Chain A
């Protein structure tokens, strides 16, 4: 069974600085997808960034980038030029296929990011 571990319950960053959130996972599959989701106080889970395991290049979306280390099963999120609106819970997730032909997400326990003005 796949597992996702986030070992940082809370992180703080100064506005305009850079912060890195850590995530490790375990799987026996060779091809898979990893995600970072943001959950602000509004509670809706918002997709931040996606990484396909067969792609060696790290994904980037504007100020958000990942460091994907497949052999180490590590998937960290780097937020550059942090903004007050980045404050939220961040969840790392693994996409696991189901026998019915769809998929589910396996989420970590989350990291609460505080952005200090």
Chain B
């Protein structure tokens, strides 16, 4: 059990560019979650995957955001045409059934 892995750890991008983050959950966990944490706030729920199916999407997930989880393994979160307001830490978590989440260490996005 190597935990939840997120890559990259930090990403700096220019406004208007596209960025993609990757999350590798714990191998036997079929549930995967993305959260966003802005400065001075707690994490906020973005989306949920059960295996490869995206079953929940928050209103925070605008049209510029897309998430995938092909084959029910790793997941990617893409942000198109980044804006300064997208600057935040993006956390991934995984779980199995109703057990507690295991969080990753996040990807910190800075849009300049």
Contacts and interface: CB of A to CB of B under 8 A. Distances in A.
B41 A102 contact: no
Query: How large, as a class, is the contact surface on chain B?
Result: 20 to 34
B101 A102 contact: no
B48 A47 contact: no
* Interface SS of chain B: strand
Contact of B101 (A43, A100, A105): A105
Contact of A43 (B50, B55, B89): B89
B46 to A, nearest CB: 9
A98 B48 contact: yes
A45 B35 CA distance: 11
Interface stretch (A62-70, A73-81, A106-114): A106-114
A102 B56 contact: yes
Contacts of B89: 43
B56 A44 contact: no
